Amino acid sequence: MNVQSKQPSPPMSWDELSRPPRTTWIEVSRSALAHNLGLLRRRISANTRLMAVVKANAYGHGAVESARILQAAGADAFAVATLQEAIELRAAGIERPVLVLGYTPPWQTEAALAHAITLTVLDLETAAAMHNIAAASGRSLTVHLKVNTGMNRLGVRPALAFNVLSALAQLPALQVEGVFTHFATSDEADKQHAEAQFACFQKLLGDLTAAGLRPPLAHAANSAALLTMPHTHLDMVRAGIALYGLDPDKDECKLPDGFRPALAWKAIVTQVDDLEAGEAVSYGREFIADRPMRIAALPVGYADGFPRKPNNWGSVLLHGRPAPILGRVCMDQCVIDVSAIEAQHGTVRQGDEVVIIGRQGDATITAEEASTRIGTNNYDIVSRILARVPRLYVE
């Protein structure tokens, strides 16, 4: 047992980190977000608008600050999932158009009008109810019609879309600014289904143009289509995952060279201890030491978005090396094995920095690698990091 290593020591590098309010935190790189937006901008024509998708707390990166950074970097508009997310952006001073991608019930029309939020409409009845509320208040509500060309989640069927748009054009308190669709498989190598969806959407746009009903903004492309199907860019692209420097699909649609992941997730060691052979770690005593070990506690748990079951994260980085997680992940904490790191590379101390996503020394854990281990995708990994983990915005 190394007695010296049990002495408390000051946290390493803590002052330079401008003291986040918790001992686990996210660092979001401003320059990476702006740089990734610039790379996407170069791929679209000057006439195509770039809508930054900042729903779900900007895929975990922090919606308000990410939107401010992206607005300053030239995003033309923002997309969110709910009206509440949209109002949060307005309250923070975001002035560019904000589109709610999901269903908004008519009773939220007043709030959308008050904050100049653009709503998605999916059917004539709801749109008419919204129109009546807008008309009664003497204002005009901006809407985009969503068309279901094959995702089969949300939207009006293409066969009905023409008639719905014709009817919407008769409602003076609705300003029908956009029509859009969403791809189910643009991140796959096989583009057959995505191309069929786009052909269906193009047919509708052609019919609308011929009838003088085409709204000014037609849009379809998400990050994967922006990168791999340039003919789908139309009047606007809706980019999410690529802005954050993450692959649309880790196998079939990797980002081209040059994009930079914007997010790192870090923590500090909160306690280091010895474990004797036969002692167990954490709830349920699932891990039992078969030899004397050195262990460290971390202030990260499943209520931070650090999963417990069926698979946990596997390992984190400490002193530039992987440190395996031992036993069950708890709500706010977990325990790692630092025996090998101590044996080969010196004492581990309270306050030592741990990397959960990101780079430490020569080692990296990407959101994509974590997603493979957890059995999900990188979208899920970053967007599940809960709001209680503070976000620090760094260069």
Ligand X SMILES: Cc1ncc(COP(=O)(O)O)c(C=O)c1O
Enumerate the β-bridge partners of residue 326. Answer: 335
238-253 burial code (b ≥16 CB/10 A, e <16): bbbbbbbbbbbbbeeb
Contact between 62 and ligand X (CB under 6 A)? no
Contact between 238 and ligand X (CB under 6 A)? yes
Enumerate the β-bridge partners of residue 287. Answer: 281
Window contacting ligand X (CB under 6 A); options: 8-16, 28-36, 236-244, 317-325:
236-244
- Give 28 or 101: the residue with its C-beta nearer to ligand X: 101
Contact between 173 and ligand X (CB under 6 A)? no
CA angle 70, 71, 75 (to 5 degrees): 75
Contact between 222 and ligand X (CB under 6 A)? yes
Contact between 182 and ligand X (CB under 6 A)? yes
Contact between 61 and ligand X (CB under 6 A)? no
Structure tokens belonging to residue 348: 């581990």
Q: Which residue is nearest to ligand X (CB)?
A: 240
* Rounded Cα–Cα distance for residues 194 and 199 (Å): 9
DSSP label at residue 187: T
Q: Is 6 a catalytic residue?
A: no
* Rounded Cα–Cα distance for residues 133 and 154 (Å): 23
Residues 96-115 that bind ligand X (CB under 6 A): 101
CB of 323 closer than 8 Å to CB of 329: no
Contact between 240 and ligand X (CB under 6 A)? yes
Q: Which of 200, 239, 296, 382 binds ligand X (CB under 6 A)?
A: 239
* Catalytic annotation, pick one of 55, 146, 250, 266: 55
- Amino acid identity, position 135: A
Q: Is 191 a catalytic residue?
A: no
Q: Minimum Å distance from CB 224 to ligand X? A: 6
Q: Minimum Å distance from CB 208 to ligand X? A: 20
- Give 223 or 339: the residue with its C-beta nearer to ligand X: 223
Q: Minimum Å distance from CB 170 to ligand X? A: 27
Enumerate the β-bridge partners of residue 21. Answer: none
Which residue in 183, 117, 180 sits closest to 145, CA to CA? 180
Residues near ligand X, by CB under 6 A: 53, 101, 182, 222-224, 238-242, 248
Catalytic positions: 55, 283
